[in-house]
Amino acid sequence: MGVAVGFTLSSVVVTNLSGSKAIGGLAGTATVLGAALFALPTAKASGRGGRRTGLTLAYACAMLGCLIATLAITVESWPLLLAGLVLFGSGSAGNLASRYSATDLSPPGHAARHLSWVVWAATVGSVAGPNLAQPAEDLGRRIGLAAYTGPFVLALLAFAVATVIIMIGLRPDPLALARSLAAGTPREPGTADAPPAAKVQGGALRTAWRSLRESPAATRALVAIAVSHTAMVSIMSMTPIHLDQHGASFSIIGLVISLHVAGMYVLSPLVGWLADRIGRVRVLVLGMALLLVSAVLAGTAGEHAVAQVTAGLILLGLGWSCGLVSGSAMLTEAVALERRPAVQGLSDLVMNTCGATGTVIAGVIVETLSYGTLGTAVAVMVTATGVWLALGHRGTGRSHLASA
C-alpha cells in the first residue's frame, strides 16, 4: 500500500514541477532504479542479521525517501524529488525480499505455496493504495500540507506500520532459526534469535554469481524470473498508450490495468500449490506459454478489441505470477542456506533492472514500429525461454537416470 499510494501521483508531480512530460516519466524510472539498487543491500543485511534486519533497512530507507519527497514538493525541487523517489523504491525491494522470509522454514515441497501467500497479500495494497491517494491528498491540504504531499505522508505511515509489524511480529527470525536448525542447535521457544551463520567468503554479489555458476537450476530460475518480469512490464507499460490511441476512455484503461493486476496476484496461492504439486519447471514452462498467448492476444487486437486486450493482460499477469512464484521457490531450493540471501538479492536486482530496461525498449519499439511488433518480440523471447527451460529440465532428468 505504501508503494502504491506514493507511486500513484509521482509522475504527475514531477511533470508539474519540471514542466516536462519527459522528465515526469523519470519518476517511474527512479522508483524502479531504487528497487534495483536496494535489492543487494537488503539481501546483505538479511544475510548478516536475519530477515528482520534486511526488511527494516529497506522500509527505513523508504520512509526517508518519503520525507525527502515531501520536502522536495514543498520547496518545488524536482531533482530532489527524483532523489527521494530512488530511496522510496527501497520499499519495493523490501516487498520483494519479504516473500523469501516465507521459505526459510518451509517443509520440503512447500516453499512455493508459502511464498505465494506473501505475493498474494500484495493484492490488498495494490488495490487500496491508488484509491487512497486522492483522500490522502485532500486530508493533507486540510491540515496545511503542501499540495501533492499527502500521499507521501500516508506512504511514510504505511512503511512505519510495516516496520513495527516486522520488528515485533517476525520473531523468531525465520532465517536465523533456519540456520540454527541446520546447525543442529534447535532453540527453546522464547529464546533470543540464533546468531547468523558464519560469514560467506567474499561479497554478496560475488557469492551470488558463484552460486549461480555452481547451480544450473538456480540459473534457470533466475532467467525465468527475469524474462517473466521483462515480458510483463514491457506489454503492461505500453498497453495504456495503445488503448488511448484507439479511443479508449480512462475508465476503460483503468479497468484493464486493474484486471491485469488481479491476474498477477489473486491466483498466486493456486500457482504456488501447483508448483509444489507438479514441479517448479513445469509451472515455469506453463508461465511462458501463458505469456506467449497473452502477447499474441494483445499484439493482434484490432482497433476496438478491448475485450481481447483485456484477456491478454489478465493472462499476462497470470504468466508473471507463474514465473515469480515458481521461479523464486526454485531459486531458493537450488542454493545452500547460507548463500540464499545473496542469490535472492541478485535475483531481485536482475529482475528490476530487466524490467526498467524492458520498459525503455518497449517504448522505442512502439514509437518506431508498433504495439503489435512489441507483442511479436515478447512472444519470441518467452517461446525461446520456455523451450530452453523444458530442454534443460529433460537433460537434467536424463543425467540423473544415467548416474543412478
Kindly report the CATH number assigned to the domain that includes residue 62.
1.20.1250.20
**Phi-psi bin for 263: left (phi > 0), alpha (psi -120 to 50), beta?**
alpha
| pLDDT at 191 (0 to 100) | 46
| pLDDT at 394 (0 to 100) | 67
Same domain, 117 and 217: no
Amino acid symbol at 333: E
**Beta-strand runs (E) in 208-327:** none
Cis peptide bond prior to 172, omega within 30° of 0: yes
Same domain, 115 and 225: no
| pLDDT at 13 (0 to 100) | 87
- CB neighbour class for 365 (10 Å; exposed up to 12, middle 13-18, buried from 19): buried
* Rounded Cα–Cα distance for residues 94 and 51 (Å): 10
| pLDDT at 185 (0 to 100) | 61
Q: How many domains does the chain fold into?
A: 2
Same domain, 10 and 138: yes
Q: How far are the Cα atoms of 330, 394, 396, 397 from residue 391, in angstroms, in the given order? A: 17, 5, 9, 10
Chain centroid to Cα 343, Å, comes to: 15
Q: Which residue has the cell 490511441?
A: 245
Whether residue 243 lies inside any domain: the answer is yes
Same domain, 123 and 233: no
Same domain, 146 and 220: no
Whether residue 191 lies inside any domain: the answer is no
Q: Which residue has the cell 514465473?
A: 323
Whether residue 359 lies inside any domain: the answer is yes
* Rounded Cα–Cα distance for residues 263 and 324 (Å): 13
Whether residue 130 lies inside any domain: the answer is yes
Per-residue pLDDT of the chain (404 residues; tens, 9 = 90+): 898 888 777 878 888 899 887 787 788 788 888 999 999 999 999 999 999 999 999 999 999 999 999 999 999 999 999 999 999 999 999 999 999 999 999 998 899 999 999 999 888 887 777 778 888 888 888 999 998 899 999 999 999 999 999 999 999 999 999 999 988 765 544 444 544 444 444 477 788 888 899 999 999 999 999 999 999 988 988 888 788 777 777 678 778 887 888 899 999 999 999 999 999 999 999 999 999 999 999 989 877 788 999 999 999 999 999 999 999 999 999 998 888 999 999 999 999 899 888 888 888 888 889 889 999 999 999 999 999 999 987 655 443 323 33
Whether residue 366 lies inside any domain: the answer is yes
Q: Degrees (nearest 5) of the Cα angle 184, 181, 209?
A: 105
Buried b (16+ CB within 10 A) or exposed e, 41-51: bbbbbbbebbb
* Rounded Cα–Cα distance for residues 396 and 277 (Å): 19
* Rounded Cα–Cα distance for residues 174 and 187 (Å): 12
Same domain, 237 and 326: yes
Q: How far are the Cα atoms of 29, 81, 374, 384 from residue 359, in angstroms, in the given order? A: 9, 21, 11, 20
- CB neighbour class for 392 (10 Å; exposed up to 12, middle 13-18, buried from 19): middle
* Rounded Cα–Cα distance for residues 148 and 13 (Å): 7
- CB neighbour class for 371 (10 Å; exposed up to 12, middle 13-18, buried from 19): buried
Same domain, 143 and 213: no
- CB neighbour class for 364 (10 Å; exposed up to 12, middle 13-18, buried from 19): exposed
What's the Rg (C-alpha) of the chain? 21
Whether residue 280 lies inside any domain: the answer is yes
Chain centroid to Cα 181, Å, comes to: 29
Q: Which residue has the cell 523444458?
A: 390
Same domain, 240 and 369: yes
- CB neighbour class for 292 (10 Å; exposed up to 12, middle 13-18, buried from 19): buried
Same domain, 170 and 225: no
Q: Residue 321: what are its φ and ψ, rounded to 5°?
A: -60, -45
Same domain, 307 and 348: yes
Last residue of a domain, one of 175, 194, 220: 175
The residue segments making up the domain with residue 356 are 203-398
**Phi-psi bin for 111: left (phi > 0), alpha (psi -120 to 50), beta?**
alpha
What DSSP state is assigned to residue 338? G
Whether residue 124 lies inside any domain: the answer is yes
* Rounded Cα–Cα distance for residues 159 and 140 (Å): 18
* Rounded Cα–Cα distance for residues 154 and 156 (Å): 5
Give the residue among 133, 95, 99, 111 at the shortest CA–CA distance from 12: 133
Q: Degrees (nearest 5) of the Cα angle 164, 126, 54?
A: 35
Kindly state the greatest CA–CA separation across the chain.
73
Whether residue 198 lies inside any domain: the answer is no
* Rounded Cα–Cα distance for residues 184 and 84 (Å): 44
Same domain, 170 and 245: no
Same domain, 119 and 235: no
| pLDDT at 88 (0 to 100) | 96
| Termini Cα distance of the chain | 50
Amino acid symbol at 47: G
| pLDDT at 400 (0 to 100) | 38
